[in-house]
Amino acid sequence: MDIFGNLVSGIANVATPENLLLLAAGVLVGMIVGIMPGLGPSAGIAILLPLTFQLEPAGAIVMLAAVYYGAMYGGTITSVLINTPGESATVASTFDGYPLAKQGRAGPALVMAAVASFAAGTIGAILVSVAAPALANLASNFGPPELFLLVLAGLIALVVIIGKNRLLGAISALLGFALATVGPAVGTGDQRYTFGSVELIDGIDFVPVAIGLFGLGEIFYTIYRGGHLEKPNRFSISLRTKGFWPNKKDFGESKWAMLRGSFLGFFVGTAPGAGATVASLMSYSVEKSISKTPEKFGKGAMNGLVGPEAANNAASAGAMIPLLTLGIPGSAATAVLLGGLLMWNLRPGPLLMEQNPEFAWSLIGSMYLGNVMLLVINIFFIPAFASIARVPFKILAPVVIVLCFVGTFAVNSSFVEVGIMLACGVLGYFMRRFGLSPAAMVVALVLGQIAEETLRQTMIISGGSFAIFIERGQSLILLAVMSVLIFVPIFAPRLARAVSKAITRNRLGPPSFKDGK
């Protein structure tokens, strides 16, 4: 069946009453999670994951994916109204969104952000429909050596791009790998680091770790930085207000920024480790650099809001490409989605679209329907979501903490896992405070077993020789990519400084000698 036929079939699978309700619920929950400062899609998916175990795999993943891209816009509401990004991907939306709100244009800003989200999400879904089958066919030729290198490349990209300190990022990833070694050894079944605990025989489940790091950890960190004491300015919004809807000038200023942000965000999102945060900041930089009126940026430029909004939503679609075709999560949120897929015995990777085409295309089809729902909900329920944004953090925090404990216990009725979740919550707080990366840790935990399994298979094939990694053409390409990821960030700043000095010398010209000096 061709791409169009598969897509139609996937949309039809989603368009059942049950799946449509799950999709709508996911979009709504994602919006609400995005509005809660400090949580974001990773925490929302992790907290809700235990509640989906009684659902069919397709419906559950459709709902969780809707939480993922729904949260992207939810964070925009707080960015515009109270100058507080719901999560890191909407930081760029505060630069011009909040100044627009202070000018009395909160309504047009939020409506244009909703339109940009819809356009970018739809463009992203179209590109996923085309690119995913092609990349899956290419990756189907990969063997264990290539899959192992892909895992390493994804982690290196995550460490390099996320966070300012790459050493701390690497330490975070190693912590995740360390947790992944608990339980049965791959190949032999020997128990490792269980300390006689029956609860740890199958290893440490990623659910309590993810809920602790992204749920409790974010709550603890927000309390530490004084988020429960903040009283930001708030703006009331009503659909009946004359200035609620954007005008022709807003659309005229934003249409090209919307398209640029959509394509830029998608391609940045496909790179493991880049994600929506990098895409939105890059889009803002691009729009400001090519604008004829760059002085308006930071003071209420509509294209300064629309470009990053389009980029972060397109990036969430682009992140599905490495997840579905390579089995490599590009962000913390997709790492949690990957964990959910593995728990339902669905192995993302090159064979997913061949062995489970109905599931894969249902997920892609849900992105089209989900974007339509988001557009309608975003525009007509803006006042309701603005009211949620006014709920004090001191009320939201206890609710989230209770959900963390209940959700963790509901998975396996294990008090040990509740303890692990609490310990990871404390760890998550210290990781945020001292610059480590919870995202890198969760991704490494999810990929740790895959990395160990593919490395063991590679060593069996090669008889224990690491030369196999340089004897295969595809492996050499991946090694070259990894080298670029490692060395370019190290030498690029030095090269830039050298070029800058050379340009400065040329502008000043050769030194002049006067009075014999």
**What is the sign, positive or negative, of the torsion defined by CA atoms of 135, 118, 263, 169?**
negative
Length of the chain: 517
| 400 touches 37 (CB < 8 A) | no
CA–CA dist 364, 131 (Å, integer): 11
- Dihedrals φ, ψ of 442, to 5°? -65, -45
Closest among 266, 283, 344 to 95, alpha carbons compared: 283
SS3 content of the chain, % helix, strand, coil (to 5): 75, 0, 20
* pLDDT tens by residue, 109-146: 888 888 888 888 889 889 988 888 887 777 777 788 88
* pLDDT tens by residue, 253-302: 888 889 999 998 888 888 765 567 778 888 888 888 888 888 888 888 88
| 69 touches 114 (CB < 8 A) | no
Helices (H), ranges, 226-356: 248-269, 275-290, 302-318, 320-326, 332-343, 352-355
* pLDDT tens by residue, 217-267: 878 888 887 766 665 555 556 556 666 678 888 888 888 889 999 998 888
Location of structure tokens 């897509």 = 7
CA–CA dist 360, 353 (Å, integer): 6
Rg (CA), the chain: 24
Q: How many helices (H) and strands (E) does the chain have?
A: 23, 2
| 100 touches 80 (CB < 8 A) | yes
Give the DSSP per-residue string, 370-383: HHHHHHHHHHHTHH
Q: Is the pTM of this model over 0.95?
A: no
* pLDDT tens by residue, 5-59: 888 888 888 888 888 888 888 888 888 877 776 667 777 787 777 777 778 877 8
pLDDT at 61 over 60: yes
pLDDT at res. 482:
80
Give the 3-state secondary structure of residue 192: strand
Quickly state the pLDDT bin for 376 (edges 50, 70, 90). Answer: confident
* pLDDT tens by residue, 441-468: 887 887 788 888 888 888 888 888 888 8
pLDDT at 361 over 70: yes
CA–CA dist 223, 309 (Å, integer): 28
Enclosing H/E stretch for 191: strand 191-192
* pLDDT tens by residue, 81-102: 766 666 667 778 888 888 888 7
The number of beta carbons lying within 10 Å of the beta carbon of residue 207 is: 25
**Alpha carbon separation from 471 to 326, 474, 479 (Å, rounded):** 22, 9, 11
CA–CA dist 469, 467 (Å, integer): 5
